[in-house]
Amino acid sequence: MKKTLFVAFALVLAFSSCKVQKIEKSFTKSEVFDQGHLGFMLVDPEKDKTLVDINSDKYFIPASNTKLFTFYTSYTILGDELVNGLNYVESGDSLIFWGTGDPSLLHPDLKNEVALDFLKNTQKDLYLLDNFDQVEAFGPGWSWDWYNYYFATERSALPIYGNIVRFDKPEEGKIFEIIPSIFKSALEANEPEEWTSYDFRRDRTTNQFSYNLPKEWTGTFERDIPFITSPEMTAVWLSEELDKPVILLKGKDVQNYEPIKLQTAAADSIYAQMMKISDNFLAEQLLLLVSDQLNNSLSTRDAIDYAKENLLADLPDEPIWYDGSGLSARNMFTPRSIIALLDKIRAEVPLEKIKAYFPAGGESGTIRNWYPADEGQPPYIYAKTGTLSMSNALSGFLLTKSGKILHFSCLMNNYAIPSSELKTELQKALYFIHDNY
C-alpha cells in the first residue's frame, strides 16, 4: 500500500514538473520572445513556490506597470473612500482655497462637482491661493512632442475639466461638441482639403486649437486634447463656473496655513479608471494627492520616496521610480519586485476590488481584446498592461481551471517587432498555464 502511494505521489510530481517545464519552454524556446529582452516570473502564492523564473532579478523599463506601484501607494495612503479634494481656510469674510492634486473637478468622466458646489454655496469672498509652482506640468523623461496627446496631459495642483478639451461626436449626422464650451472661441477650422477624418491639434505654446474638416465622413468619435494649465486661467474659469469672482492670491506660502480638507471624489472610481484604461493623468494626480495627505504639499518625488522607505522597503530590488504613470523611460523595476508587490496587493486589497480595478482579459480595459476566457467562462486574467515604444509588459493575477490564483509578471524590452506579435505569443503561454496548472 505504501509503495503504491509512493509511486502515485512520484507520478504526480513528475507530471507537475513536466507541466512547469512546458510553461518555461513556451518562453525560453519561443522564436518571438527570443527577439528581445524578456523577464518573466510565475508564482504559486498558496504554496509559496516559484514555478518559472526567467531574468526576474534584471531591471526592465516597465511602462504602465508603474501604475501598480502608484495604485498600491495610493490605496494604502488614501484608502478607498473619498479623497481630500480641496484645501481651504476661512479668515473673516474670506475663504482661501488651493488644490490638492484632485483630478475630479468637472472632469468629463468623473463628473464630480462637490468642490464647485462648496464654493458656490459659501457667502465669503473667494481667493485661489497659487500653489501651481509646486507641480511640474510634465514628468522627468517625458518627450516634448507629446503635448498634443491625451496620454501626456499636464499635471497640476488644481485640475479643472480634467486638464483637457474633449471633442465629442456621439451621434452620426450631428456636429461635434466641445467640452468645456469655453474653448469654442479658441477653435478654428483649417482650409478644406481631401481629409478622410477629423483631426484636432493644439498649438504647442498656446491654447489655440484647430481641426481638419472632412468633406464626406460618417461615424462618431471622442478626442481629448490637453490644454496648457495656469493659475490665472483656472481662476478665470472658476469665476465663470461659479458666476462670482475668484481672486488669484500669489506670493503666499501654503505651509503657513493649517487647512481644512474638503472630501470630494470617490477614490474607488479614480483607481478603476486609472487601472482599467491606463489613465496617465489620473496616475500622476494620485501621487500628488498622496503627497498632500502626507505633508500638505504637492511633490511626486516626496510621495515616491515615502512609499519606497515605508511601504516598499522589503521588495527584493529597489524600485527605480520617477513618475506615477510610467511615461518616463527612467523607471526601472524587476519582475521579482513586481511579484512581491502583487503579493502585497493580494494581502491588502479584497479580491472583488482587484477584479473591479484591474483590466479583465477579454472583457474590460486595455486587455478587453486579449486573453479571452473560454466561451461562457469568467475572465482568467486580471492584470496591468504597459506599453512604450521600447517596452511591453503585463503583470497581475492568473486564475487557473483548477481554482488556483497565480501571480505573474512579464516585462519585455527592446523588441523591434509589433506589440501584437508579443501579445499573441504571451496569450498562448498564459492560456496554457490557465488550462493546465
Locate the domains of the chain by residue range: 27-74+289-436, 160-228
Three-class SS state of 219 = coil
- Partners of residue 169 on adjacent β-strands: 221
- Partners of residue 98 on adjacent β-strands: 87
**Structure confidence at residue 257 (pLDDT):** 87
CA 146 from chain centre, in angstroms, equals 17
**Structure confidence at residue 12 (pLDDT):** 45
Give residues with Cβ within 8 angstroms of 322, minimum separation 6: 139, 140, 141, 304, 328, 330, 331
Q: pLDDT, tens digit, for every residue of 90-112? A: 999 999 999 999 999 999 999 89
Burial of 429 (C-beta count, 10 Å sphere; 0-12/13-18/19+): buried
Read off the C-alpha cell for 89.
481656510
**Structure confidence at residue 28 (pLDDT):** 94
> In the chain, what is the straight-line distance between the N-terminal and C-terminal CA atoms, in Å?
28
**Structure confidence at residue 150 (pLDDT):** 97
d(CA 301, CA 324): 10
- Please report which helix (H) or strand (E) contains residue 343, including its range: helix 335-348
pLDDT lower than 70: segments of the chain: 1-16, 192-193
CB atoms within 10 A of CB 355: 15
CA 327 from chain centre, in angstroms, equals 10
What is the fold, at CATH topology level, of the domain defined by 27-74+289-436? Beta-lactamase (3.40.710)
pTM over 0.75: yes
Q: Are 395 and 385 in contact (CB under 8 A)?
A: no
Give residues with Cβ within 8 angstroms of 403, minimum separation 6: none
**Structure confidence at residue 174 (pLDDT):** 83
d(CA 36, CA 247): 55
d(CA 108, CA 167): 11
Cis peptide before 180 (omega within 30 of 0): yes
